[in-house]
Structure 1
Amino acid sequence: MNSQTTLFIFVAAALFAGCATHEAPQPVQAALPAAVNTDPSAAARNLVLPEPANPALPSLILIGDSTVRNGRDDGQGKGPAGQWGWGNPVAAYFDHHKINVVNRAIGGLSSRTYLTGGHWERTLAFVKAGDVVVMQFGHNDASAINDNSRARGTIAGTGGETQEIDNLLTGKAETVHSYGWYLRRYIADIRARGAVPVICSPVPRKRWDASGKIARGGNSYPAWAAQVARDEKVGLIDLAGNVARQYDALGHDAVMQLFPQTTPDESTHTNWAGAELNARAAVAGIKALGLPQLVAALAPRAADIAAAEDERPVADASSVPQEQPRNAALPTLFIVGDSTVRSGGANGAVGWGERIAPYFDSGRVNVVNHAIGGRSSRTFYTEGRWDKVLAQLKAGDVVLIQFGHNDGGRIGDPAMKNRASGAGTGPETVEEARPDGTREQVHTFGWYMARYVESARAKGAHVVLLSPVPHKDRWQQGRDFEQFAQWDAQVAQAGGARFADLTMAVAGGYRGIGAQQVDGFFSDARTHTNDAGAQFNAQRVVAVLKGLRDNPVTAWLSAQGQAVAPVGGQ
């Protein structure tokens, strides 16, 4: 375990005092861990759970299982070494003069038994217009559908299947639905109250796959939670993916320290340090959703938590076709960038570069998309991908280059996967260790962009630098990627290239059609567009190219491209 992780665990342990709340003891089954597995019996239905402290304020209400609220929410008297759910430490990231944080999760329950046990009915009584209800279920939904101990399982998936049972635990007939059905029931009830539903995918277990990475759950509860969020158009906090990425970055030994040391086989329930890490990931997800009643109520200590990014895996180059100009006698429009430019349909994501060809006359120009997911201005250059573009480039061609989504973050942070570039446009470098033991001199974003401009212009080609397409939560006010746009403009001016502010061109288009339609343009929480979003953004790329004072693609436009109204550029 490294010193940074040790410091994190120490600080988390020091902060836990005073954050825990206490309530009446919960009955448990002696054969199971005492802190986490509430018996969904008549006694459990009489639990005393927290209520909104100030009904005049909006409330953030949490429902879920023991990974959200563990046992009596007191660490079993073991302090930070005990078992804790993330719903306890998350409260400290909000100003309680502005919002109530009400953790009504119960250990041992599933999406089904939280409803059928009567707990949801009592919680729903506190839900009012303007509140936000965050639900995280899944850890207990894979249990038996009918037995005489829990009877808490749900049907796998999100469909409309049902199973009729005589419940061995309650002695009553019951219709059991799918995991997704129960989530949709909560969503409908919350919306009926005028409140906002949010789904959390379940936090990952302390389990590693064959490659040494934290097991993601595959096509199971995290995927089903995300599917319901997409179908119902509600916010998703991807704790499953975000926490798993943090675990991978920390490494095996450090992750072991985030779980109770007295029970080394415990793989589900974290100690205080692990709950604090999960809480920070939840806050990052909340910031990414941009719900005004939550963002406005964040406490100062939340300021250093970056909004969670959607998962942006580094695409396997062997699975991405290497495109070639169709007709060597024609000029070529080359496109270079990341997954927002080409995603290939992965997880429903489509980049604008995959939908731009109809705006150009194939009898006058080739359109070749060299973009690849997970790359930054740095890695597209260091992996030799730019050399492959140069090998195809000739005088009179045009290159569109859009990077920035993967360039941010701290150099040296394992979560950045060796793709962060330095800030600015200067010559300074930072040394970074690579997984193979070698060390790399990492340059600034502007340095890499200047290399693209210089080498392409040396071949007689024209270059247009595009600022990145905006995030889903960053177009309504202000601007996204402000620094990257400034650096692109500086490099273009210094190197004889053109700059087009695609960020604001897309944001302006979004403002013209409104949030409801824009929300349907994304395949994930905030970064990647679906097919409809890619088509919209492709049209905005053409618009911003036409707005350039010296538009290099005018002669190549199809009738569809000619019909696009220009947007101002440089």
Structure 2
Amino acid sequence: MKRHLTAVLLLWLCAAAAAWAQTTLPAAVNTDPARAQIVLPEPANPRLPSLILIGDSTVRNGRDDGQHLGAAGQWGWGNPLAALFDPARINVVNRAIGGLSSRTFLSAGHWQRTLGYIKPGDLVLIQFGHNDSSAINDTSRARGTIKGVGDESQEIDNLLTGQHETVHSYGWYLRRYVADIRARGATAVICSPIPRKSWDAAGKIVRNRADYGGWAAEVARREQVGFIDLNELVARQYDAMGHDAVMRLFPQTTPDEHTHTNLAGAELNARTVVAGLKALHVPQALAALNDAGQAIPAAEDERPVVDAAKVTAEQPRDAALPTLFLVGDSTVKSGGANGAIGWGERLAPYFDPAKINVVNHAIGGRSSRTFLTEGRWDKVLEQLRPGDFVAIQFGHNDVGRIGDPAAKNRGSVPGTGDETVEDTRPDGGREQVHSFGWYMARYVTDARAKGATVILLSPIPHRDAWQQGRDFAGYAQWDEEVARKGGALYGDLTMTITNAYRSVGATVVDTYFSDARTHTNDAGARFNAERVVETLKALPGNPLAAYFRR
């Protein structure tokens, strides 16, 4: 009996100590932020849905009090974000902790405690990156993660904690959070880290497309979750405001502070988060915005759907000649919108007009799915003749989540299988959505039945995804599989351009784009058109050899 009472007492003491550590110990108890015991908020009304934030000090700074300096102190954007929501409709729960990385928020147990508050219907915003570039193992903070989004890992004996630890990549930790959130029946949205107060040689705010901003986007794309590109969206606003105005968004008492904003800067960032949530059409968030939140416009979609009524369909110039038809999205034909030019608009000069027509049927904002469902493929088939060629490139818009209004009903099911997913159209009608491979196979079958040669091209890489690994790995694999099974040709345009980008370097490549990550300008379109020609010439048998200019 005595032994039983002793065991019960020990269990009670352990539980009490854990609860006390979670709620009462000040941050000053431990200088290691990964082990700091601080007071974190909990959902005020468990019956309401919750908007839960996890991240670092740019989301919740210190004790969330501005270091007793009021608006002039350091603030994370999670604090003013709460002021844009109605507390009678949603809990805004800022569980971010200063000094942590995607790794240490998990390894120190903060994520496990936060998971206990996540329930079905909740929304979780994830923003890490500012501290992930730190040392992986040292006696100071030991918070770094492996660069990139891969599955590589590193075994360490942590010099700070004294524990053996397996350290993963930045992307691995983000994927872990997404998986756990989904398992709870909640919705995850990944945010790229806000930009620092740092300008490049051209006077523009430095972006993080090549590292944490780009990696966050890549994870969101692979996991098919919402993504708010805070890094780019805030940087654009900073560029428009100018140097002096940006300086006023950071603490004036510490002019060298380049990461943490004052309250005015945090408010700008919070408004940008809401603009991003509106662009994603996240229902939990939209339904709970107060008047101030409702007044914020949605972030601009850099992948707009071009109005088909304003696009004149091209015709073969000489009906006596064979034709090379181009089918795809805005990366193939942008028409100069916002300075964007697709590679298909710069391809014709490489072909002899006395021997072949080049007709560009691509249109912005389309996917393998919508190019078919809108009847645009039927128009191509009407023009196809035996001996013609069709080059098809889709993928950029197929990544949209089915059922998410922000995806504009253009997402396709990943893979090449026969499975379907039902989607609700804006008019209330139902659509059975097929896989990317299903749509591509349909194009191959239809065109070959007309006597045409079909060439499937993997998508051009994003501006922020060519330096590490490869972009569009899944779509390239699915294109290749469809081509092999259906009797079409396949060209890995993604890697042809990626390798060419690597040869000229990031400084040059950045001058090839008209926006943050997708659309090329004229110089980029010309560069990529050359790569398309390289890809076509490398096809088995070089079927277009007779038609190139000498």
Give runs of aligned pairs for residues 104-115 of structure 1, distance below 5 A: 104-115=95-106
Deviations 1:180-212 (A, max 9, x none): 111111111111111111111110111112222
Preserved CA contact (<8 Å) 1:327 1:366: no
**C-alpha distance 305-359 of structure 1, shift in aligned 2 (>3 A):** farther
Per the alignment, residue 191 of structure 1 pairs with 182
Deviation at 1:475, TM superposition (A): 4.7
- Residues of 2 paired with 1:136 and 1:303: CA distance? 23
1:104-183 to structure 2, matched below 5 A, reads 104-183=95-174
Query: Taking structure 1 as reference, are residues 331 and 113 closer, same or farther at Cα in structure 2, changes over 3 Å only?
Result: closer
| Helix, strand or coil at the partner of 1:175 | strand
Displacement after TM superposition at 1:39 (Å): 2.6
- Superposed, 1:67-86 pairs within 5 Å as 67-86=58-77
- What's the % identity of the aligned pairs? 59
The SS at the match of 1:57 is: coil
Q: Gaps (5+ residues) in structure 2?
A: 1-22, 304-336, 368-373, 392-402, 410-423, 441-458, 463-471, 480-550
CA distance in 1, matches of 2:222, 2:146: 18
Could you list the runs of 5+ residues in structure 1 that have no partner in the other structure?
1-21, 30-37, 343-351, 370-469, 477-504, 536-570
- Between 309-318 and 88-97, report the one with greater CA deviation: 309-318
What's the TM-score, normalizing by structure 1? 0.56
Q: Which amino acid aligns with 2:44?
A: A
Superposed CA offset, 1:34-60 (max 9, x none): xxxx63254x1x211000000000100
Matches within 5 A, 1:307-346: 307-311=298-302, 314-315=338-339, 321=346, 323=348, 339-340=364-365
Distance 1:183 1:133 in 2: 12
CA distance in 1, matches of 2:237, 2:378: 36
Amino acid across the alignment from 1:287: K
Q: Does 1:359 align with 2:381?
A: yes
1:300 to partner: Cα distance = 1.2
Deviation at 1:276, TM superposition (A): 0.5
Deviation, structure 1 residue 306: 1.4
CA RMSD of aligned residues (A): 4.2
The residue number in structure 2 matching 1:216 is 207
Aligned residues: 360
Query: Aligned equivalents of 2:76 and 2:377: distance in 1?
Result: 44
Cα distance in 2 for partners of 1:307, 1:510 equals: 26
Deviation per residue, 1:334-391 (Å, 9 max, x gap):
7697x5379xxxxxxxxx999888534344999999xxxxxxxxxxxxxxxxxxxxxx
Indicate if the aligned counterparts of 1:87 and 1:279 stay in contact, CA closer than 8 A: yes
Aligned to 2:32: 39
Distance, in Å, in 1 between the alignment partners of 2:256 and 2:38 is 29
What is the match of residue 273 of structure 1?
264
CA 1:215–1:335: 2 relative to 1, 3 Å: same
Residues 281, 405 of structure 2: 8 Å contact kept: no
Q: Match for residue 512 of structure 1?
A: 431
Could you say what secondary structure the match of 1:115 adopts? helix
Contact kept in structure 2, 1:333 and 1:368, CA below 8 Å: no
Query: Is contact 2:193–2:230 with CA below 8 Å preserved after alignment?
Result: yes
C-alpha contact (below 8 Å) 2:348/2:358 kept by paired residues: no
Q: 1:28/1:367 Cα in 2 relative to 1: closer, same or farther (>3 Å)?
A: farther
1:473 and 2:406 aligned: yes
Query: Contact 2:281/2:404 (CA < 8 Å) preserved in 1?
Result: no
Cα 1:219–1:333, aligned 2, differ >3 Å: closer, same or farther?
A: closer
TM-score by structure 2 length? Answer: 0.58
- Over 3 Å counting, the alpha-carbon distance change for 1:329 and 1:170 in structure 2 is closer
Displacement, 1:516? Answer: 10
Question: Deviations along 1:404-453, whole A, 9 cap, x unmatched?
Answer: xxxxxxxxxxxxxxxxxxxxxxxxxxxxxxxxxxxxxxxxxxxxxxxxxx
Equivalent residue for 2:191? 200
